[in-house]
Structure 1
Amino acid sequence: MLEKLVEIAWEFWAVLSEMAPYLLFGFFVAGLLSVLISAQRVERHLGGKGFWPVLKAAAFGVPLPLCSCGVIPVSASLRRHGASKGATASFLISTPQTGVDSILVTYSLLGGVFALFRPIAALISGVIGGLLVSLFDRGREAREIDDSARAQPPATVTGNNRFIEAMKYGFVTLPADIGRALLVGLIVAAAISAAIPENYFADVLPPGIGQILILMLAGIPVYVCATASVPIAFALIGTGVSPGAAFAFLMTGPATNAATIATIWKVMGRRTALLYLLTMAGAALAGGLLLDQFLTARQVHAHVGHGGWMIPPLVNHLSAGALLALLAWALAGPLVRRFRPAAQPAVSNGQTTTVLRIDGMTCTHCANSVRRALQECPGVKTADVDLTGNRATVVGADYDVSGLVQAVERLGYSARAMDETA
């Protein structure tokens, strides 16, 4: 038993040290993208109908490190601020499949071909899904756009504050959002590598399309983020799964799960949800079959075996230690805030404070989307969202509490007023 635990720990560290330098750099780039490609900037490009907004939506979504839970409220906000249904669906499909951090991690473990194939597949599937929605789900197009929300000017951050905000997002917010899932993914990958013999699945699972279908179906109902799924895919390839089947898991795992489909059904409608699921399943199957035509498991392992010369082993190990420390710090933050007394918002004469209980938020992107939706409600001065406590505190005058609840529910969450004071 002890020997097996040591083997799992060794596999965990081996995969972590291989991906750590790339993931740390990915955090840096993701931070820069967070201030360069904001939701407000995306909104300005996604209005109108036709192919061009759909293509731009997919292109915007590919590099953004948004998980499937975080992309839904962002997509709902894009929709309310003027994006077409097709462009919103395109963004919704392409974004959770990959991001700049997961692309770099994919390169570190699975090689350049795989790392290039993932974003291309995300882009193409986003465009196809967006066009299908534009073609088959044209109902209520104009009615769902909120003109009052669209009129709100975005807040701007300039100068050195932009860089500080970028680094805060890249090395605090993003690790906190994906840290738990990443550690679980690494542990699962290490356990698979230690417990399952090499090439075991090559003899157990049917080859070709059968293997791809099994991994695709395994990925659809469960959730694993785009970055955390890469070590699992790497371990599966080591146990005999084809690169195409691993790709099908990488595509469906981050982008489809029961909660995501249910929320899309609620926010975007039944037809869009079905088209979303159909697009993801079809793209995963077609992409897996295509990837298996020019990439073998041997080539993937050759990349890991011979690609390490680019980064000295000492740098890999130091980066792994730094990444673990960063994840520990990020994950400890919510625990510290849970026991810290909450700051009371400043309330002027004539203003009221309302506390909302909000269920369904899972990451910082969720909290930011809720905050923005509440601040856009008439009469609201400030809105503070506590992700850990699942609540939002709203301060203002002459606002409609039912309007606050509706603004949150339009993003796919459930909300109710808990308290109101003068």
Structure 2
Amino acid sequence: MSLLDSPLWRDGFTLFLSIVVQAMPFLLLGVFLSGLMAVFVEGSQLARFLPKGKIGSAVAGGALGFFFPVCECGNLPVARQLVIKGIPPHVAVAFLLAAPVFNPVVIFSTWIAFRNMPELVAYRVLFSFGIAVAIGLLFSVQKDLEPLLQPAVWRELQRNRCQEAALKSTSRSPLLQGGTFWIGSQSPAQGASGGSLATLQRAEEVYRAALAAAPALSWRQKGLLLLQTWAREIRELGSVLILGSAVAAFVQTVIPRSFVLDYGQDALVSILIMMALAGIISICSTVDAFFALSFAATFTPGSLLAFMVFGPMVDLKAIGLMLTLFRPRAIFYLVLLTFQFTLVGALAINYYCS
């Protein structure tokens, strides 16, 4: 019997297709929203609607998921555009983690699955939102954003910042602070001298005049730009989704289900198993509640909650998609913090319900 005819291969390929089919519509929805944002929304417009404080902006970032009802496959393109448009990364992190659960579609599907356990629905929403905001606040401590972001995202962010700064009519332009934007390694003291300052001012005036004189894009040009943006996002994110789905399907087929069921009633081990299962199987948050329901008779309430909180935030395909926005070190801290918060919350529920 060839490998292609083996039951293991068929099961793995079926799982792979099911993960891709579940995730692709939401990835396409996220790409659609992010493309519209990239072409038609200015970063300054987005920033005006955010509270100024770190706590308020992190809460707003988490709540933003309610208006973008997509799972973890679709919120990454939106989060990446938020960062590129100049929204602080900690706001994008809060959105990235909260959006897969804190949206009307997932809340409704969870209630349909666990309508006999309404407290589990409330815990899922509250825990997911609270963990997302807490991690967002921890990321807000990082002052230098470059170590967090992928080089391509960082360069695009810097380009957008420079363009928006040049268009602002302020008495002291951000481009002139420090006197090093237009002329290599010149020191602030040199930038403050008369000749150098005049050179910088003339350079900025030329740059601002060039941008102001540039003709506005026609609707046809915007349409072409939108199509190009969609194609690039689908090419970059779709390939990562396929790879992550393949890894998730492979790991699922080699872990015996009997091993999982043997430890379902242990307060700690059951949580660890369900968190590992959530990270591996990579089910979209819109349907994962029905999967968790199949374990309700054999696993602890805290472990079911951990599955539905941890999985939408961190799974194999989500980590792959995050790599298009954040550097591996930032993702490591994000995964570690999510794991710790979820474990503590799920343990509290197990001991509270026992």
TM-score calculated relative to the size of structure 1: 0.45
How many corresponding residue pairs?
A: 222
Against the structure 1 CA distance between its residues 291 and 45, is the aligned structure 2 distance closer, same or farther, given a 3 Å change threshold? Answer: farther
More strand by share: 1
User: What residue is the counterpart of 2:122 in the other structure?
Assistant: 116
Q: How far 1:49 sits from its partner (Å)?
A: 5.9
Q: Deviations over 1:204-230 (max 9, x none)?
A: 435101110111011113311112101
Q: Work out the CA distance in 1 between the residues paired with 2:46 and 2:124.
A: 22
Corresponding position of 2:190: none
Counterpart of 1:76 in structure 2 is: 80
The amino acid that maps onto 2:73 is: C
- Correspondence 1:256 to 2:260: no
Q: 1:99 aligns with which of 96, 99, 103?
A: 103
What corresponds to 1:217 in structure 2? 276
Equivalent residues in 2 for 1:401-416, closer than 5 Å: none
* Residues 80-91 of structure 1 aligned to structure 2 (within 5 Å): 80-91=84-95
- In 1, distance between residues paired with 2:326 and 2:261? 40
Is this contact kept in 2: 1:128–1:279, CA < 8 A? no
Counterpart of 1:129 (choices 132, 135, 142) is 135
CA drift at 1:234: 0.9
Q: Which moved further from structure 2: 41-50 or 246-255? A: 41-50
RMSD: 4.0
Mapped contact 2:89–2:140 kept (Cα < 8 A)? yes
Distance in 1 (CA, whole Å) between partners of 2:74 and 2:349 is 28
Name the residue aligned to 1:57: 61
Counterparts of 1:273 and 1:226, CA distance in 2: 20
CA contact (8 A) 1:47 1:82 kept: no
* 1:8-407 matched pairs, under 5 angstroms: 44-46=48-50, 50-62=54-66, 64-110=68-114, 111-136=117-142, 138-140=144-146, 144-145=157-158, 146-147=160-161, 148=163, 204-205=263-264, 207-238=266-297, 240-295=298-353
Q: Residues of 2 paired with 1:288 and 1:265: CA distance?
A: 27
Residue 220 of structure 1: SS of its match in structure 2?
A: helix
Deviations 1:55-89 (A, max 9, x none): 11012225642121211110010111121011111
Task: Assess if the C-alpha contact under 8 Å between 1:71 and 1:92 holds in 2.
Answer: yes
| Alpha-carbon distance between aligned partners in 2 of 1:67 and 1:149, rounded to the nearest angstrom | 31
Q: 1:113 to 1:205 in 2, by over 3 A?
A: closer
**Aligned counterparts of 2:267 and 2:90: Cα–Cα separation in 1:** 33
Tell me: CA distance 1:149–1:248, structure 2 relative to 1, closer, same or farther (3 Å).
farther
1:6 corresponding residue in structure 2: none
Aligned to 2:22: none
Q: Can you give the 5+ residue segments of structure 2 that lack an aligned partner in the other structure? A: 1-32, 149-153, 168-215, 217-256
SS in 2 for 1:237: coil
**Distance in 2 between residues matched to 1:293 and 1:63, nearest whole Å:** 34
Q: Residues 213 and 42 (structure 1 numbering): CA distance in 2 closer, same or farther, change over 3 Å?
A: farther
What displacement does 1:42 show?
Answer: 5.9
Distance in 2 separating the partners of 1:231 and 1:206: 20
- Is the Cα contact below 8 Å between 1:75 and 1:91 reproduced in 2? yes
| TM norm structure 2 | 0.53
| Cα separation, partners in 2 of 1:80 and 1:46, compared to 1, 3 Å | farther
